[in-house]
């Protein structure tokens, strides 16, 4: 499933692929495609609407 998040470092909107087979609530680190800085992504998938909400934080 495609979803977007806002990079916690540079503020760019980034499109990413969320693997639905990993559960409805996920947490992982992904580097920003623009500034290459790591973001901690907290993902929640809504099974009714089949959409993903992503909150990003800077990985220190």
Annotated domain spans of the chain: 2-58
Which two tokens mark 34? 């623009």
Residuewise pLDDT in 10s, the chain (60 residues): 999 999 999 999 999 999 999 999 999 999 999 999 999 999 999 999 999 999 999 987
Is the pTM here over 0.75, yes or no? yes
What distance in Å separates the CA atoms of residue 1 and residue 47, rounded to the nearest whole number?
12
């Amino acid at each position: 499933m495609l979803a977007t998040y806002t990079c916690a470092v540079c503020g760019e909107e980034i499109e990413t692929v969320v693997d639905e087979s990993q559960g409805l609530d996920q947490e992982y680190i992904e580097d920003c495609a623009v500034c290459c800085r790591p973001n901690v992504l907290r993902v929640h998938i809504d099974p009714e609407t089949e959409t993903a909400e992503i909150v990003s934080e800077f990985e220190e």
